[in-house]
Chains A and B, each alone.
Chain A
């Protein structure tokens, strides 16, 4: 075992841990050692068992067998509270908040700074929260109510909670899933600082480059089983992928012959006061247009206004030459527009319903000849999509809530992609899904475009935008700062515009 090459006792260690949920064996014999000063990556496909490891370390689940050791001593956490008291902090994959309370209270719940007489020191609490947000580079208002925050902001709160906990062992379950490269880089700086001061970190991400940038060591899981553990510097990208997927993944992005047709979606002068200003662009049939920008730059808001879930103060949206009414999503759907929302867990999935029901919800007609839903068709449809996206599930009749985070994403994605619209707006389509499924999603988007669909792709993952888009629009603080052709677009040009250095986009192309 590793003990010979590291004489020091790990802060936290899992030894041969197993865990089952009814028939699903989520973990079978996983061992993992987290050492002071080290950032440890945990890699694996969706459903490999990463979050289950996290929940065991955090005291949410108890292992069926095997042991958890803290400073070399066996411990048993029977609730999250036990783990927290022993210096463990967890950033959860699905952030959950207290919607009625302020942002600062969410960050500090249970560990609010106190002053005389055990009173909560609100001033200090707000200051503390503002400081953490400053460190993370996301200026959230500590006094605002948490209800209604975007996924990215919720993720920032989730991270802030772990930072103020002053923990020795920090577990980060896909903290960067909703963040763009700039915020992620800030987080890494903070994480490295924590490690330097002697904390042990566990980091989970589906973005390999992030693992290489941040982590010292990696452990790979596949189907709940331990595959390998290695120093990050001693494993190549290809080897890592092969360990995770069990095969090599040749090409992350499909090669596409770009043959754009006529303008399908034309947006002109779109304005929503306080959110974005004078946004003009168009998407042609068969074209994939990327929309890049930092968290909070207003990309999702533009998408929502185009689709009509939010109203607009000025500007026009036309689809196939017909103007769309403001604030009327039904009209947008009728005109052939589909929006895959950013917040899929809240807006796209019915957690209590079976998986098969969720996949068919948007296409009930197809599975319901003569108006009666046929379960066999529903199941066949779900199975076909599950196969295509590599969905990992127990039974299709299980509630969607039992799926791993990434697999939930796949279900929603499949549901919307198959409605076959003429304009598809996808907001962060590959967030939280593993590399194998990413390839599938990319292939699918490219296929859909080849069939003549106009695709607007919002993504915080720069390589994805660069690899997929025929044209890249960049937003900064509610304005379009650049429109780049495939040739012009690269990491520098996009980041330059995303941080507010670009000119306004070339108006001519929007006509």
Chain B
């Protein structure tokens, strides 16, 4: 009965299918890829990108985009290092909240320019991509701290990043919680549905009385907070930080979102799809060296996946539109 719904889950199913195929082929070449440790690493690697992708989905659904995610992530990763330099006993939760707050502030800056000053998000966030990165480098050179290593951070912080509960990494758990909340809100809350409405037809959204500016601003703030959290988690997982953390991540994130079936022109897509997209792309990247593909090809994967997904979406869109138009006379309930 629910055509909209079945289309969406169709996309998610095909990502899962692709994922199974990639894993099967790679495991055939090297069985350790599917060992408990291998799977653990696979999820761990995908978690940070998934977190970014969840935030990005909120924006892309509203016909916006945030290209500054890599820089914001770098900034909050660096912030967490600096907090430990200032006080090596800083509680983990305080660092996380500080990272989220800084991320949210960056998001608020982007959001204000987009929602209030009405500058296109592409332009705003392309600008802040460099501005935030500049602040990051400026901070590093002003303090003379170019690299922060594991021994400068608290052991609790490091063990949180690499720890797990019942075999599930902490990072993956956090991504799952974020996924659950965002997915629930997008599906069940009026404000969530309004994000789709804004992206689907901004003019109709205004006529429907939706406070579009406020919704878009809030999306930027929430997405910023998630990106901020991702930066902190990156620091706690890798244990070494410099001012270039997160460089180029925007490509991976946008690719994950689009591969996950979130329409780049807004109005449709799910956070589950985006998270699966993130998992698929990181898995492919992880599989390439095992399959003997030279390392320099790995960056190209994200770009190629992005192009492929957009072309595919376009083709599917046209077919669906055509079918819906033709079905319009068959509309008995």
Task: Decide: A110 near B201, CB < 8 A? Known: A153-B331, A275-B329, A275-B330.
Answer: no
A148 / chain B contacts, CB cutoff of 8 Å: 321-328
A109 with B325: CB separation less than 8 A: no
Cβ-defined partner of B268 (8 Å) among A90, A100, A118, A130: A100
Total A-B contacts with CB atoms under 8 angstroms apart: 121
Closest A-chain residue to B207, C-beta based? A80
Any A CB within 8 A of the CB of B189: yes
A105 with B193: CB separation less than 8 A: yes
A298 / chain B contacts, CB cutoff of 8 Å: 329
Any A CB within 8 A of the CB of B220: no
Most chain A beta carbons < 10 A, residue from B193, B208, B267? B208
A109 with B330: CB separation less than 8 A: no
Q: Bound state CA distance, A274 and B323, in angstroms?
A: 13
B328 with A98: CB separation less than 8 A: no
A145 with B329: CB separation less than 8 A: no
Number of A residues contacting the other chain (C-beta, 8 Å)?
Answer: 46
Considering the complex, which residues of chain B in the window 303-328 have a beta carbon less than 8 Å from any beta carbon of chain A? Answer: 320-328
Any B CB within 8 A of the CB of A471: no
Closest B-chain residue to A134, C-beta based? B333
Per-position contact with B for A111-147: 1 when CB-CB < 8 Å, else 0?
Answer: 0101000111000000000100000000111111101
A141 / chain B contacts, CB cutoff of 8 Å: 331-333
Closest B-chain residue to A272, C-beta based? B326
B190 / chain A contacts, CB cutoff of 8 Å: 110, 112, 114, 118, 120
Minimum Cβ distance to chain A for residue B63 (Å): 11
Task: Decide: A80 near B206, CB < 8 A? Known: A98-B267, A143-B3.
Answer: yes
Any A CB within 8 A of the CB of B143: no
**Which secondary structure characterizes the binding site on chain A?**
loop
Task: Decide: A296 near B200, CB < 8 A? Known: A100-B263, A119-B189.
Answer: no
A96 / chain B contacts, CB cutoff of 8 Å: 201, 203-204, 207
A100 with B267: CB separation less than 8 A: yes
B211 / chain A contacts, CB cutoff of 8 Å: 81
Per-position contact with A for B175-216: 1 when CB-CB < 8 Å, else 0?
Answer: 000000000000011100110110111011111111100000
User: Can you list 20 residue pairs at the A/B interface with Cβ under 8 Å?
Assistant: A80-B206, A80-B207, A81-B211, A92-B207, A98-B196, A100-B199, A110-B208, A112-B190, A112-B193, A120-B190, A120-B193, A140-B333, A141-B332, A143-B1, A143-B4, A145-B324, A148-B322, A148-B328, A275-B330, A301-B329
8 pairs of A and B residues whose beta carbons are closest in the complex: A148-B324, A100-B267, A148-B325, A81-B209, A98-B200, A100-B200, A119-B188, A96-B204
Additional A-B contact list (10), CB under 8 Å, known A98-B267, A112-B190, A130-B333: A79-B206, A81-B211, A97-B201, A98-B197, A101-B197, A143-B2, A148-B326, A153-B328, A274-B327, A275-B326
